[in-house]
């Protein structure tokens, strides 16, 4: 089988994302109560668009073509398709950005806690080695502190 890129039409080096609709509402999630220009895309439509874009290198240019029945082409809803798609993906980008920063904050606090516990454990371990060099119980506790210190670095 040829590569995935060969499955898509290209015009002047621009990859076409083509969607054929019998109704404009096919493109949108029917359970979304938002006004039409702010509606969420249908999951299948979103996956098709995202999967198409991810099949190509990052700098690839795309053009989306939506085929509609002739009686729908000049309607207000048809004119709002492009802004609705932009709004949908802009919202998705904002949600992904918010999740990224939440994960980043969680990771940063986890790292600070883990490094602090590790530092305390390593300092305590050194004190045990210095003060009780031949005591088996102290050496066992020192090794347990080392293991605990490193496992404290794991994400919960």
Phi/psi at 73 (nearest 5 deg)?
A: -60, -40
Helix (H, G, I), strand (E, B) or coil at 24: helix
The answer to whether 52 and 5 are in contact (CB under 8 A) is: no
Phi/psi at 127 (nearest 5 deg)?
A: -65, -45
Packed helices 81-131 and 43-54: angle between N→C axes, nearest 10 degrees: 70
Helix (H, G, I), strand (E, B) or coil at 19: strand
The whole model's pTM is what? 0.67
pLDDT band at 1 (very low <50, low <70, confident <90, very high): very low
Q: Is the pLDDT of residue 32 over 80?
A: no
* Tens-digit pLDDT profile for residues 137-154: 888 988 898 888 888 777
How many whole angstroms from its chain centre is CA 125?
41
Helix (H, G, I), strand (E, B) or coil at 80: coil
> Higher-confidence residue: 48 or 36?
48
- All structural domains of the chain with their residue ranges: 4-79, 102-151
Q: Could you give the CA distance from residue 67 to residue 24 in angstroms, rounded to a whole number?
A: 10
* Tens-digit pLDDT profile for residues 44-82: 889 999 998 988 888 989 999 999 999 988 888 888 888
Tokens of 6: 């060969």
Q: What is the predicted pLDDT for the residue at 58?
A: 87
């Amino acid at each position: 089988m040829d590569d995935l890129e060969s499955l898509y039409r290209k015009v002047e080096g621009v990859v076409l994302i083509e969607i054929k609709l019998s109704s404009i509402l096919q493109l949108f999630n029917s359970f979304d109560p938002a006004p039409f220009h702010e509606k969420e895309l249908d999951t299948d439509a979103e996956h098709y668009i995202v999967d198409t874009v991810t099949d190509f290198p990052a700098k690839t240019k795309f053009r989306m073509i939506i085929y509609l029945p002739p009686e729908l082409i000049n309607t207000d809803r048809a004119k709002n398709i492009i802004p609705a798609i932009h709004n949908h993906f802009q919202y998705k980008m904002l949600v992904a950005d918010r999740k990224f920063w939440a994960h980043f904050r969680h990771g940063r606090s986890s790292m600070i806690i883990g490094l602090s516990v590790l530092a305390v454990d390593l300092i305590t371990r050194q004190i045990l080695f210095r003060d009780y060099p031949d005591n088996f119980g102290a050496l066992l506790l020192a090794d347990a502190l080392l293991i605990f210190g490193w496992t404290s670095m794991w994400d919960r």
